[in-house]
Amino acid sequence: MSPLSTLALLALTGVCSCQTSDCSYLDLLTYLNLTTTNGAAVNMRPVKNWTTPTLVQVDMVPFGILQVDEKTQTFTSHIWINMHWTNEFLTWNASDFCGIDTLMVPRSSLWIPDVFIVEDVSDSGTIQHSPLVSLSPEGSLLAITRQRLTATCLLVVTLFPFDQQRCNFTFSSMNKASIMLGPINNETALTRTSEEFMVTQGEWELDKMEIFEYRNNISRYPDKLIYTVTISRRPLLYVVIFILPLLFFVWLDVASFFISEARGEKLSFKVTVLLSISVLLLILKDMMPSTENHLPMIAIYCVGIFALVGLSVLEAMLLSFLHDLDGYCKARSPDNCEEKIQLEEDFYKAEEAPENGPVPPDRPEGHDLLKLILKEVKTTRQEVGGPNKDEMRPGRYRRLADIIDRVFFSLYLLTAVVFLTYMYTAWISQII
């Protein structure tokens, strides 16, 4: 006999010996009376004594943080729920069935605990139940569900973008009197599993998961299981697109005090800075919820900087008005400019004085020529050098403007420093 046929014979005898006892899943299903749908098995809680509560253990593993919406206060994630309970009627002796130790049973033919998530506001169709539940010889069942879960969550954005959010997922049952809820794995194992399987987190990072078993005064057993998921935001993007640009704007505004007052450039520069800040404010408005009672720190920061720059625009306007007033005053020579006009007259007298002084009599031609040149120079100076004289001798309003500018600049710098320091201590240092 060839070795091949020996092998075939051996295999055949192996199969034959197996067929003597119940080795197929069908035999086991038949033994458990699960081949036909049995209404009682589907609807009745599977306990032999009705006073025995059914312990339902639930594990929730988030494996994707899809969206956290501050506006609608919802947290969308992709989760995996394992639910474990015992059916006292579905037991068998593994050795009677060739050692079958797991049987996959259609979900529809069994009693399934009605456990739901209280915060769930998902659309229908986001739950994906596994069609089969696995059954082991002691009657313990494990059902697996995947869900795209949108849950309400109170998002506190005061420290945005350095915020940390805690969202509760409360598992509860309508059938409170007879169902006890508990976790399968502990917190650290769950957090580890979740971190291992996390596919997408977006701008968030899973910090930790905590489990609380909650029991109200009336019920005998813990009838609520709360999973608290703590996530924290990765703030870098917001630092780069928001906080640093605003800081730059303040610096630019401080620097703009050194732009010369002439030609109104200072004012238009400051207005441009103000406009840039209002663009950022618009973006911020789209991100922040209007449900907050306390203004988020980032809003205070934006508005504070807006106000600072706004004030400095007003001050620039005042200065430019004072300068204009000075110019106007000079042109029209009204009464309140007397002092200035007096000064100007003195200046001209002083200039004319040497002309009338004694002249050496022995050089008449040279004297005439010199006189002619001096006259020419004087007229040229009056035409060209007129404005220079004005700048050298600023008017009363211009002097006032200079004082205002200096005082305002000092106050502005002080306020900006105090404000930014406050922001730092109350906001950014909270996370460090």
Ligand X SMILES: *[C@@H]1O[C@H](CO)[C@@H](O)[C@H](O)[C@H]1NC(C)=O
| 239 belongs to the binding site for ligand X (CB under 6 A) | no
Beta carbons of 289 and 155 less than 8 angstroms apart? yes
Beta bridge partners of 80: 61, 146
Q: What's phi and psi for 426, nearest 5 deg?
A: -85, -15
Smaller CB distance to ligand X: residue 77 or 312?
A: 77
140: number of Cβ within 10 Å: 15
**Dist. CA 427–CA 242, nearest whole Å:** 14
145, 178, 185, 228: which one binds ligand X (CB under 6 A): 228
Strands 179-183, 54-69: pairing kind: parallel
Site for ligand X in 285-344 (CB under 6 A): none
Helices (H), 333-395: 338-352, 364-384, 386-392
27, 55, 73, 89: which one binds ligand X (CB under 6 A): 89
25, 212, 257, 269: which one binds ligand X (CB under 6 A): 212
| 33 belongs to the binding site for ligand X (CB under 6 A) | yes
Q: In this structure, which amino acid lies at residue 417?
A: V
Q: Report how many residues bind ligand X under the rule CB under 6 A.
A: 9
Give the nearest distance from C-beta 222 to ligand X in angstroms.
12
Q: In this structure, which amino acid lies at residue 274?
A: L
Smaller CB distance to ligand X: residue 58 or 284?
A: 58
**Dist. CA 123–CA 135, nearest whole Å:** 30
Smaller CB distance to ligand X: residue 25 or 212?
A: 212
32, 103, 299, 308: which one binds ligand X (CB under 6 A): 32
| 168 belongs to the binding site for ligand X (CB under 6 A) | yes
At what angle are helices 265-287 and 244-255 packed, to 10 degrees?
160
Give the nearest distance from C-beta 282 to ligand X in angstroms.
31
Q: How far is CA 61 from CA 81, 116, 204, 228, in A?
A: 6, 15, 16, 12
Give the nearest distance from C-beta 143 to ligand X in angstroms.
20
Q: How far separated are the first and last CA of the chain, in Å rounded?
A: 81
Give the tokens for residue 149: 């879960």
Give the nearest distance from C-beta 106 to ligand X in angstroms.
17
Beta bridge partners of 136: none
Give the nearest distance from C-beta 167 to ligand X in angstroms.
8
Give the nearest distance from C-beta 228 to ligand X in angstroms.
5
Smaller CB distance to ligand X: residue 42 or 373?
A: 42
66, 156, 226, 259: which one binds ligand X (CB under 6 A): 226
Smaller CB distance to ligand X: residue 223 or 253?
A: 223
Give the nearest distance from C-beta 218 to ligand X in angstroms.
17
Give the tokens for residue 335: 């009464």
What is the contact mask toward ligand X in residues 90 to 129, using x (rule: CB under 6 A)? ----------------------------------------
Smaller CB distance to ligand X: residue 33 or 421?
A: 33
Beta bridge partners of 141: 85, 135
Smaller CB distance to ligand X: residue 169 or 242?
A: 169
Site for ligand X in 122-161 (CB under 6 A): 154
Smaller CB distance to ligand X: residue 214 or 269?
A: 214
**Dist. CA 64–CA 85, nearest whole Å:** 26
Smaller CB distance to ligand X: residue 180 or 246?
A: 180
**Dist. CA 76–CA 202, nearest whole Å:** 11
Hey, what's the torsion of the CAs at 60, 62, 63, 66, to 10 degrees?
150
Smaller CB distance to ligand X: residue 55 or 226?
A: 226
Sign of CA dihedral 242, 280, 267, 408: negative
Q: Which of 66, 185, 69, 55 is nearest to 115 (CA)?
A: 55
Give the nearest distance from C-beta 135 to ligand X in angstroms.
12
Give the nearest distance from C-beta 226 to ligand X in angstroms.
5
> What residue ranges bind ligand X (CB under 6 A)?
32-33, 89, 154, 168, 212, 214, 226, 228
